[in-house]
Structure 1
Amino acid sequence: MIKRLRHWGVAASIAAAIVVAAAVWPARSPADEIEGPFPVEIRARPISDFRIGSADRQFGQLEFVGGLEMNGSSRHFGASSAFRFLKPGSDFIGVADTGFWFFGTIERDAQGKPVGVDNFSMAQMVDESGKLISEKWEVDAEGLDVEGDIATVGFERNHRIAQFKIDPAGMKGPIRTLDFVVPKRELRRNRGFETVTRADPQGQHAGGLVVVSEKSLDDRGNILAAVIEGPNKGPFTVKRDGEFSITDGAFLPNGDLLLLERSFSMGAGVKMRLRRIYGESIAKDAVADGPVLLEADMSFQIDNMEAMDVWTRQDGALMVSLMSDDNHSILQRNLYLEFRLHED
């Protein structure tokens, strides 16, 4: 009980840190700039229980598999905004909202539970000419999709959707930018596209890219989003439910969209939620909606949960993996959490 109360005792401090990090963006100095990719040693502590002090594994349709609390040898480690697996449950690519790419591999034990991170490296983002970008507002990377060797990244502040060729040995500048359908003037400065994800090629959206903003709202208070490719190209909105904002999303094999959501307040601290948006509700000018699958507060092993991917394990199990953004704050943690989603 003491441990649990102590965990709640830092909730307000964590919430305050998130508010400060969202509002203050220090300029990057020349000393911060690093040429090329560089290795980072990751020290990881396994997390065995999702609910603090409880051995429960099942939370509705989600079964907790395991997790990691991570610390890196570089001061640039952290601020993870989005990631996608390049190999299911193993090699991954990600973006940090401080303007870095990162790559790594999830290590597993004989039972398949995550036990560490290996081969981790980071690289600062560059512009079309290969020059390091020193203006933080230009590289506030928040969303990520991967198809083949192409990474599609959503940026906020200077709102855009850009595509890059994936090369862990040396990421280069963008090869193109995409029309994101939503009028740029409607996007809030720090509430842009946090979700960039591609629908199933065989599904109703024919493999088109879908983008969802964090909390840019229409005049009815719903969250701006769009299908930006394919036969169903056009804007839609996601019904906002409570005080939660959207931090990432990925399509499930059946065509539904799984969204990761976050809320925080000085009183309640940080919360996270997984919400399943029915695929058929995603349509031009429609309001998409669906049920909550999981909600967790500071009595669980969560932090500022920002990143998510959905993947299929070798045995056919449908998996959901989450990462947190520590905002480079000593009050917050870099977490990796893994669940199995049991379908009805």
Structure 2
Amino acid sequence: MGYLGSYIWRSEDPRMGGMSAIEVAPNGRDFTALSDRGGWTRGSFKRDAQGRITGLSAEKVRRLKGLENAPLKANRSDSEGLAIAADGTAFVSFEGAARVLRYDDLGGSATNLPTPAAFRALPRNSALEALAIDRNGALYTLPEDPPDAPRAIPVYRFKAGQWTQPFAIPREGTFLPVAADFGPDGKLYLLERQFRGILGFASRVRRFALRGNDIGPGETLLQTRPGEHDNLEGMAVWRDQGSIRLTLIADDNFNFFQTTEIVEFRIPD
């Protein structure tokens, strides 16, 4: 695992902040980012000859819409996970009112995916943090910290029009899942966060091989020291020539003392 660098995203846009998810296009430049207050934006990275981020340009943050043409209501706008299919269809998972919405266009109105009873039973502040889509179009989501799952985090899959819970990911320590993505290698990458009080946040990335309804034991690719980076909460996994690139983004919680930090790592492929 090789650390490539960090970039602090600064903006005068009052809606900019709370970034909870990011998707990066195969070209490594274009991206879509999601706020945890029902906002989203698109932009492009500027990179140097070594591929490190040196700047970015982004549209103003726009508000996600609900089933009609109006923006999501405040009590239903805690958007946390983002997954974009190959055809551009976008899916967003929510933590407050736990559900997944489908957008043919992020600027348009939404369609509700079915909401199983398991989602409605999740705590409002630790529900569907992570969302990922595999190469066959199946969606995977998992809650941050379900109280009835002390040893493993349940993973829910939306396939053929219905949700199932094919497997769970074992907990290791006090890290909690905050983002997921499928890499170009077909494996599931999981970003986890640990809060250490005044020491700050530590982050960990684990990678899992999936086979049908089974999940492999997983391997830890990355674990940062507390305070080494800010509150990393979103992750995109993509291919950069002969390696796999991780692009991580921090949620500044709209606090002046935190930053929207973008951190990148390279994994030899």
TM-score (norm 1): 0.72
1:267, distance to aligned residue in structure 2 (A):
5.2
Residue 223 of structure 2 corresponds to residue 295 of structure 1: yes
For residue 218 of structure 1, report the CA deviation from its aligned partner.
3.5
Higher fraction of helix: 1
Instruction: Select the structure of larger CA radius of gyration.
Output: 1
Q: Which runs of 4+ in 1 moved over 3 A?
A: 217-221, 230-233, 286-289
1:228 equivalent among 158, 171, 181? 158
Q: Secondary structure at the match of 1:187?
A: coil
CA distance in 1, matches of 2:198, 2:127: 26
Q: What is the one-letter code of the residue matched to 1:92?
A: F
Change in CA separation of 1:342 and 1:217 when aligned onto 2, cut-off 3 Å: farther
Residue 143 of structure 1 deviates from its aligned partner by: 0.3
Tell me what 1:327 maps to: 253
Alpha-carbon separation, structure 1, partners of 2:198 and 2:6: 27
What's the CA shift for 1:238?
A: 1.4
Identity of aligned residues (%): 27
CA distance in 2, matches of 1:136, 1:181: 22
2:244 and 2:234 map into 1 onto residues whose CA distance is: 17
Given candidates 40, 54, 59, the residue that maps to 1:120 is 59
Residue 83 of structure 2 is aligned to residue 145 of structure 1: yes
User: Partner residue of 1:318?
Assistant: 244
| Aligned residue identity for 1:296 | T
Q: Which runs of 5+ in 2 are unaligned?
A: none
CA distance in structure 1 between the partners assigned to 2:215 and 2:104 by the alignment: 33
CA distance in 2, matches of 1:318, 1:292: 15
- TM superposition score normalised by structure 2: 0.90
Q: Is the 8 A contact 2:184 2:239 kept in 1?
A: no
In the TM superposition, what is the alpha-carbon distance from 1:240 to its structure 2 partner? 1.2
Offset at 1:166?
2.5
Which residue, out of 230, 241, 248, partners 2:179? 248
Task: Tell whether 2:19 aligns with 1:80.
Answer: yes
TM-superposed CA distance for 1:191, in Å, is 0.9
Distance in 2 between the 1:267 and 1:83 partners? 27
Aligned to 1:72, what secondary structure does the other structure show? coil
Structure 1 residue runs without a partner (length 5+):
1-61, 202-206
How much has 1:234 moved relative to structure 2?
Answer: 2.1
The size of the alignment, in residue pairs, is 267
Distance in 1, matches of 2:182 and 2:26, equals 17
Identify if the C-alpha distance between structure 1 residues 90 and 166 changes in structure 2 by more than 3 Å, giving closer, same or farther: farther
CA RMSD across the alignment: 2.2
1:309 counterpart = 2:244: no
Tell me what 1:342 maps to.
268
Counterpart check, 1:172 vs 2:172 = no
| Correspondence for 1:270 | 201
Give the drift of 1:128. Answer: 2.5
Which residue number corresponds to residue 4 of structure 1? Answer: none
- Listed as ranges, the matches of 1:198-237 within 5 Å are 198-201=133-136, 207-230=137-160, 234-235=164-165, 236-237=167-168
Deviation, 1:97, is 0.6
Alpha-carbon displacement from aligned partner over 1:256-306 (angstroms, at most 9, x marks no partner): 2110000113254211111112323x72xx676422211112352x11100
Aligned partners of 1:141 and 1:179: how far apart in 2?
17
The whole-number CA distance in structure 2 between the counterparts of 1:299 and 1:131 is 39
In structure 2, relative to structure 1, the CA distance for the partners of 1:186 and 1:289 (3 Å cut) is: farther
Deviations along 1:220-253, one digit per CA (max 9) or x if unpaired, are 4321221111599620321111111101011123
Distance 1:156 1:299 in 2: 25
Change (3 A) 1:140 1:122: same
